[in-house]
Amino acid sequence: MSAVSDHIYGYNERGNLVYNKYCYTKATANGTANIIIWRCREYRRLKCRATIKTKNKELCAIRGSHTHEAKNYGKIIAPFLTTSM
Ligand SMILES: [Zn+2]
């Protein structure tokens, strides 16, 4: 089994979503359905249209492609770890 370790999915210390070395900020959230739409951090600056949809902290849709290179955003916190321990 080869792990897809390049496709890291988690959150950074600011609470942004990080997936595959791209960083996303929260665009819209539907609290009752637990669905969040995340927009690429470079949406404004580079007009990047990539978005990610998560439901219950699981990725369920990836749309668009990035207009820029991926970056290393440093420490990523896995979504399944709770911070309230
Ligand atoms: Zn992007």
**pLDDT tens digits along 69-78:** 998 877 888 7
**Residue found by looking up tokens 């916190």 in the block:** 77
Contact 38/28 with Cβ under 8 angstroms? no
Once rounded to an integer, what is the mean pLDDT over residues 3-28? 83
Q: Are 60 and 53 in contact (CB under 8 A)?
A: yes
Instruction: Choose among 39, 5, 36: nearest CA to 23.
Output: 39
> In angstroms, what is the span from residue 21 Cα to ligand 1's centroid?
10
Residue 48 belongs to domain with CATH number? 2.20.25.240
For residue 30, give its domain range.
Answer: 9-63
pTM of the model as a whole: 0.80
pLDDT reported for residue 75: 84
Residue count of the chain? 85
Residue 3 pLDDT = 46
pLDDT at residue 80, as a whole number = 64
Q: Does residue 33 belong to any structural domain of this protein?
A: yes
State in Å: Cα 26 to ligand 1 middle: 13
Rounded-to-integer distance, Cα 71 and Cα 40, Å: 12
Q: Report if residue 73 sits inside a domain.
A: no
Structure tokens at 57: 């902290």
Residue 52 lies in a domain: yes
